[in-house]
């Protein structure tokens, strides 16, 4: 499927038929596996695609703190609260690396923030679902961070240097996040009948939205062919989704939980699990802003931004004061 995507991308370029010498040289560097760095020449399309993807990714890390933040004050033990706080702080850090990586492409942090707060910019669909019980915190770790790792490990090898390098640390931290989620779920599944039921209920609600995180099916993915050609995407949405299903089935079995898909079954010929149809109308409704929590998430981010104005102004006033005091540089 990936090879097909690259072929489609190449066909588009041939159809355009008007690649300048500079554009040919740029594509040749990518084909040779050379990393593109901020000061290198790049096509406008490549720059825009990366700004779109990296800023969406950064926004996802920032908004992704909200569903889990809902449980900080209600974590069942001090140990779980400390782990959850550390995880949420890591997500803030991921947002910062990613905003910095996007800034190297010529967009300002202020512009990205404005786009998020106005609702113009996208962030991952998954963060528009509510965390109704403590088991949901475990599901986010196991399924959401699990999906993030599957998606992001290939990004460590993508063609844009600052994005690829940022992903290395992000993936290491995500691995810890996924394990904490699975560990939390193991405790619940070994606990009382009610605790196990709580875990099953959470799996029923998070399974399908987690599979949607990988994006629309390949035939509907508008950006894939070009992103594959530029080695921003190394695997297709459906390939990574299949990897997620194959990885999660034995993990669910170990927990003693049932994946809510009656069509899920091992296909020996393909060497993969077959799985049921995804309700893409739900995905597109969430993307349009009509998921269960879209409005709430944006309202919370806007309030946090407004409430922090006094702090930003104070920091700016302090910086201005020090700049004024600094003696002029000797000629
Ligand atoms: N949600 O042509 P396609 C995390 C959009 S953070 C919303 O396949 P592309 C974590 C897509 O943007 C997880 N929108 O697009 C954080 C496009 O619309 P535009 C975030 C989605 O870019 C805290 C349209 O649909 N990870 O893990 O080739 C705590 C058509 O799609 C989604 C990343 O951002 C979605 N799920 O592929 C815990 C990873 N899917 O932009 C965990 C980096 C698709 O043309 N991003 N869309 O208007 C990617 O790898 C790619 O951007 C995607 C989509 C695979 C997501």
Q: Is residue 214 predicted with pLDDT exceeding 60?
A: yes
pTM beyond cutoff 0.85: yes
pLDDT digits (tens, 9 = 90+) for 156-209: 999 999 999 999 999 999 999 999 999 999 999 999 999 999 999 999 999 999
Cβ distance 85 to 72 under 8 Å? yes
- For residue 105, report the distance from its CA to the centre of ligand 1, in Å: 19
Taking each helix axis as running N to C, give the angle between helix 146-155 and helix 161-189, from 0 to 180 degrees, rounded to the nearest 10. 160
List, as one string, the DSSP characters of 201-219.
HHHHHHHHHHHHTT-S-GG
- For residue 74, report the distance from its CA to the centre of ligand 1, in Å: 30
Virtual torsion, Cα 88, 165, 108, 224, nearest 10 deg: -90
Residue (of 228, 223, 142) closest to 189 by Cα position: 142
Q: Which 3 state secondary structure label does DSSP give 267?
A: strand
Which is the closest atom of ligand 1 to the Cα of 147?
Answer: 27
- For residue 214, report the distance from its CA to the centre of ligand 1, in Å: 7
Residues found in the chain: 331
pLDDT digits (tens, 9 = 90+) for 250-302: 999 999 999 999 999 999 999 999 999 999 999 999 999 999 999 999 999 99
Ligand 1: list residues with CB < 6 Å: 52-53, 56-57, 60-61, 64, 91, 122, 124-125, 144-145, 148, 151, 212-216, 221-224, 227, 233, 237, 287
Q: Which residue's entry shows tokens 């997500």?
A: 91
């Amino acid at each position: 499927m990936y090879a097909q995507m690259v072929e489609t991308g190449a066909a588009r370029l041939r159809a355009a038929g008007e690649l300048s010498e500079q554009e040919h040289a740029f594509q040749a560097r990518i084909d040779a596996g050379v990393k593109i760095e901020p000061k290198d020449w790049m096509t406008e399309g490549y720059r825009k695609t990366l700004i779109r993807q990296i800023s969406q990714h950064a926004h996802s890390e920032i908004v992704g703190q909200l569903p889990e933040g809902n449980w900080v004050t209600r974590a069942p033990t001090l140990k779980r609260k400390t782990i959850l706080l550390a995880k949420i702080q890591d997500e803030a850090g991921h947002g910062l690396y990613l905003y910095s990586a996007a800034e190297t492409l010529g967009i300002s942090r202020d512009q990205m923030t404005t786009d998020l707060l106005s609702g113009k910019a996208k962030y991952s669909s998954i963060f528009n679902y509510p965390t109704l019980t403590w088991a949901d915190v475990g599901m986010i770790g196991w399924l959401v961070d699990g999906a993030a790792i599957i998606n992001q490990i290939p990004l460590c090898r993508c063609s844009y240097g600052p994005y690829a390098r940022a992903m290395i640390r992000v993936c290491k931290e995500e691995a810890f996040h996924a394990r904490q989620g699975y560990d939390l779920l193991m405790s619940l599944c070994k606990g009382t009948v009610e605790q196990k039921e709580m875990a099953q209920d959470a799996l029923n609600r998070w399974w399908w939205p987690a599979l949607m995180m990988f994006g629309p099916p390949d035939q509907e993915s508008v950006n894939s062919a070009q992103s594959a050609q530029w080695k921003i995407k190394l695997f297709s949405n459906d390939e990574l989704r299949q990897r997620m299903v194959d990885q999660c089935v034995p993990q669910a079995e170990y927990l003693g939980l049932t994946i809510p898909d009656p069509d899920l079954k091992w296909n020996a010929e393909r060497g993969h699990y077959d799985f049921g149809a995804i309700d893409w109308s739900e995905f597109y409704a969430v993307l349009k802003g009509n998921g269960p929590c879209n409005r709430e998430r944006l309202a919370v981010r806007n309030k946090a931004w407004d409430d922090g104005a006094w702090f930003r102004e104070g920091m700016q006033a302090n910086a201005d004061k020090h700049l004024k005091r600094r003696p002029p540089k000797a000629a």
